[in-house]
């Protein structure tokens, strides 16, 4: 049997939020919700886990700090020591105050650039990827909720979604 999804279209974000809560309360699985703008609290209403992207950003910042420290130690202390402004060139610790801006900049640089790459990989947004939006109106003024259905619960789910304020309901093969 092919898997099917019920697509319910809403005109207001508040109605959508109540519908998501109602569908989740009745133990149905929401596949995806498409919105034209971010809806505050929708992730919690859908029961999505919190993201771990902040942890990766911190780890990428640590990598940037380590690279900056190793790079400056090698360049300014070991490989080509120079007397710049009377600063001693034989100790990294004595020169660290002058290295702090570089360490900060490389920390931010690594965290930002590696986070962009991680976000694109995690969300599968590759360059030249075809859009997967099931209804173009969701980029303008409509909200779409996709719910997994089977033959047994099709009628009661349709009634539930219609009573929750959906303006359109479609049954599609997934």
pLDDT-above-90 percentage for the chain: 51
- Please, are residues 4 and 133 in contact by the beta-carbon 8 Å criterion? no
Q: Is the predicted pLDDT of residue 66 greater than 80, yes or no?
A: yes
* CA 109/CA 42 separation, integer angstroms: 31
For residues 87-116, give the mean pLDDT. 86
- Can you give the residue ranges of every domain in the chain? 4-49+135-173, 53-123
Phi, psi of 173 (to 5 degrees): -75, 140
Q: If you average pLDDT over residues 39-64, what whole number do you get?
A: 93
Tell me the CA distances in angstroms from 145 to 48, 57, 79, one per residue in order.
Answer: 15, 31, 60
Q: What are phi and psi of 55, to 5 degrees?
A: -65, -45
CATH of range 4-49+135-173; options 3.30.420.40, 3.30.70.260, 3.40.50.1220, 1.20.1290.10: 3.30.70.260
What's the pLDDT tens digit per position in 48-58? Answer: 998 888 999 99
Asked whether residue 29 carries a pLDDT value surpassing 80, the answer given is yes
Residue 1, pLDDT score? 45
Higher-confidence residue of 43 and 92: namely: 43
Average pLDDT for residues 57-78, to the nearest whole number?
A: 92
Burial label for 69, CB within 10 Å (0-12, 13-18, 19+), is: middle
Q: Is the pLDDT of residue 2 over 80?
A: no
Per the CB < 8 A criterion, the answer to whether 8 and 145 are in contact is yes
32 pLDDT exceeds 80? yes
Percent of the chain with pLDDT over 70: 96
**Which has more pLDDT, 62 or 157?**
62
Instruction: Taking residues 121-131, report their average pLDDT.
Output: 84
CA distance 168 to 70: 60
Over residues 11-35, the mean pLDDT reads 93
User: Per mean pLDDT, which range of 57-71, 75-89, 152-166 is the poorest?
Assistant: 75-89
Of residues 111 and 83, the one with the higher pLDDT is 111
- pLDDT tens, position by position, 104-122: 999 999 999 999 999 888 8
Contacts 24+ apart (CB under 8 A), 40-48: 41/17, 42/16, 42/17, 45/17, 45/20, 45/21, 46/20
């Amino acid at each position: 049997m092919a898997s099917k999804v019920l697509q319910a279209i809403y005109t207001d974000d508040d109605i959508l939020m109540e519908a998501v809560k109602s569908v989740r309360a009745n133990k149905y699985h929401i596949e995806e919700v498409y919105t034209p703008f971010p809806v505050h609290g929708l992730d919690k209403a859908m029961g999505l886990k919190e993201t771990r992207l902040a942890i990766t950003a911190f780890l990428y910042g640590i990598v940037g700090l380590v690279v900056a420290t190793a790079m400056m130690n090698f360049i300014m202390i070991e490989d080509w020591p120079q007397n710049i402004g009377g600063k001693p060139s034989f100790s990294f610790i004595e020169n660290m105050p002058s290295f702090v801006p570089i360490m900060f900049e490389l920390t931010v640089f690594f965290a930002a650039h590696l986070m962009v790459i991680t976000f694109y990989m995690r969300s599968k947004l590759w360059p030249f990827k075809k859009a997967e939006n099931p209804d173009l109106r969701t980029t303008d003024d409509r909200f779409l909720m996709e719910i997994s259905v089977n033959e047994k619960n099709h009628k009661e789910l349709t009634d539930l979604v219609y009573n929750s304020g959906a303006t359109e309901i479609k049954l599609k093969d997934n």
